[in-house]
């Protein structure tokens, strides 16, 4: 008796909340499937490759081996968007999303719009659309944070255009919200030092600060909207740009990586982007705690993408954080050397945005 299983699937995005025992599904060819008919195979004698039904293999129910077909019995419920059951033993399953299955992310990995990540050396257009580079991981790489691929830019008078985030006139931006008081937590140098030594403190989470920055307007504002002074005194264009940003048009409405899901990194998150050991902090400013272990792998991935024609560029120079020093100053980090300083909000610095996965 012959057993037939024809499987047709749509490749689904899988957020990289992955199982520690997950392995990429092998190619259909590597599993012994072929594009050609096998001589002598009876009618309806084929089983089709679970993630590309143009590949097939002549099998019988009695001889089908689940493990040889690439199936296993690991629990995929936490990370697999759609499961395929082995025709001989349905306790064996695999993911239906092809090679780009959920996987463990490492620092310096390229993160793709389909929710997967792979090392820079594995880059291929077939893996998907790159949207960021991983700079921080938790839970063994199942979760973490990524940085966008290039400094965002601004039109005349610092107006941000989310449809063209990298090709506008200005490459730096005023922080904004100068002299706004009572709406933020301001960090003195000693307070910041203490917070940098505690990785659970707000200085390692810029998402809330960015959301607040994006919605505030100074009550005493008298400047014309769209002017440089309006950006300096009345609103935070950095915050507004962050919540409007999306890395590529194809994910503009994506619930995980689209508009509204990115933020201005806090001073602690920028420290991690450079490479940072919290327990080594002895001062709020300077290079205290900076070890530079992360920026190298991140820039390697960004330069790899740029060499492949992707709109990406390495990270260097001074960047605004979403952590404020006072009503008139905010913290920034020099990602060329890891040093932290605070500066007046009317000055301009570069802006990179981050999100989590």
Query: What pLDDT, on a 0 to 100 scale, did the predictor assign at position 101?
Result: 38
pTM for the complete prediction? 0.73
Averaged pLDDT, 317-339: 94
Reported in sequence order, the residue ranges of the chain that DSSP labels E, i.e. its strands, are 46-48, 56-58, 83-85, 93-95, 110-112, 117-118, 130-138, 143-147, 173-174, 318-324, 329-334, 340-344, 348-349, 354-356
Query: What pLDDT, on a 0 to 100 scale, did the predictor assign at position 82?
Result: 64
2, part of any domain: yes
CB 132 within 8 A of CB 43: no
Last residue of a domain, one of 100, 132, 167: 100
117, part of any domain: no
- pLDDT at position 204 over 80: yes
**Residues 155, 46 within the same domain:** no
pLDDT, one tens digit per residue, over 97-121 is 433 334 689 999 999 887 888 899 9
Share of the chain above pLDDT 70, in %: 81
Provide the phi-psi class of 193: left if phi over 0, else alpha when psi is between -120 and 50, else beta.
alpha
Query: What pLDDT, on a 0 to 100 scale, did the predictor assign at position 23?
Result: 41
CA distance 36 to 21: 33
pLDDT, one tens digit per residue, over 274-306 is 999 999 999 999 999 999 999 999 999 999 999
Averaged pLDDT, 27-43: 78
Domain extent for 186: 145-356
271, part of any domain: yes
**Residues 178, 316 within the same domain:** yes
CA distance 297 to 292: 10
Last residue of a domain, one of 65, 80, 100: 100
Which residues are CB-neighbours of 178 under 8 A, at least 6 positions away?
218, 232, 233, 327, 328, 344, 345, 346
**Residues 155, 239 within the same domain:** yes
- Burial group, residue 77, by CB count within 10 angstroms (0-12, 13-18, 19+): exposed
Query: What pLDDT, on a 0 to 100 scale, did the predictor assign at position 21?
Result: 32
273, part of any domain: yes
Which residues are CB-neighbours of 126 under 8 A, at least 6 positions away?
none
Averaged pLDDT, 268-273: 98
**Residues 78, 173 within the same domain:** no
84, part of any domain: yes
128, part of any domain: no
Query: What pLDDT, on a 0 to 100 scale, did the predictor assign at position 184?
Result: 61
- pLDDT at position 79 over 60: no
**Residues 303, 196 within the same domain:** yes
Residue 111 phi, psi (nearest 5): -105, 135
Q: What is the mean pLDDT of the chain?
A: 82
Higher pLDDT: 7 or 180? It is 180
Last residue of a domain, one of 69, 100, 131: 100
Share of the chain above pLDDT 90, in %: 46
289, part of any domain: yes
Q: What tokens were used for 68?
A: 């040889």
Q: Which long-range contacts (CB under 8 A, 24 or more apart) does 155-159 make?
A: 157/226, 157/227, 157/228, 157/231, 158/228, 158/231, 158/237, 159/226, 159/237
pLDDT class of 55 with cuts at 50, 70, 90:
confident
C-alpha radius of gyration, the chain, whole number: 25
106, part of any domain: no
The dihedral sign for the CA sequence 180, 262, 136, 82:
positive
Q: Count of domains in the chain?
A: 2
């Amino acid at each position: 008796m012959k057993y037939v299983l024809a499987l047709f699937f749509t490749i689904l995005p899988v957020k990289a909340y992955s199982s520690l025992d997950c392995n990429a599904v092998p190619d259909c060819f590597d599993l012994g499937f072929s594009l050609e008919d096998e001589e002598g195979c009876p009618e309806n004698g084929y089983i089709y490759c679970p993630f590309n039904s143009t590949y097939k293999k002549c099998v019988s129910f009695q001889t089908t081996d689940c493990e040889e077909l690439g199936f296993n019995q690991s629990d995929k419920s936490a990370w697999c968007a759609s499961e395929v059951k082995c025709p001989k033993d349905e306790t064996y399953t695999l993911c239906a999303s092809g090679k780009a299955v959920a996987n463990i992310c490492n620092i310096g990995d390229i993160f793709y719009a389909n929710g997967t990540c792979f090392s820079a050396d594995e880059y291929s257009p077939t893996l998907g659309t790159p949207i960021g580079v991983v700079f921080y991981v938790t839970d063994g790489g199942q979760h973490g944070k990524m940085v966008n691929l290039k400094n965002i830019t601004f039109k005349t008078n610092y107006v941000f255009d989310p449809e063209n985030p990298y090709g506008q006139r200005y490459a730096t931006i005023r922080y904004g919200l100068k002299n706004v008081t009572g709406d933020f937590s301001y960090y003195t140098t000693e307070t910041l030092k203490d917070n940098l030594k505690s990785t659970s403190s707000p200085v390692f989470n810029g998402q809330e600060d960015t959301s607040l920055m994006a919605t505030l307007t100074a009550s005493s504002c008298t400047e014309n909207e769209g002017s440089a002074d309006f950006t300096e005194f009345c609103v935070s264009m950095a915050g507004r740009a962050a919540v409007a940003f999306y890395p590529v048009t194809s994910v503009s409405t994506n619930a995980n990586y689209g508009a509204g899901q990115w933020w201005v990194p806090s001073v602690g998150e920028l420290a991690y982007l450079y490479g940072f050991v919290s327990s080594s902090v002895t001062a709020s400013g300077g290079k205290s705690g900076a070890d530079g272990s992360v920026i190298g792998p991140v820039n390697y991935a960004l330069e790899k993408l740029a060499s492949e024609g992707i709109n990406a560029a390495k990270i260097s120079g001074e960047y605004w954080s979403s952590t404020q020093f006072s009503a008139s100053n905010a913290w920034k980090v020099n990602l060329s050397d890891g040093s932290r300083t605070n500066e007046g909000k009317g000055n301009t610095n570069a802006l990179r945005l981050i999100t989590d996965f």
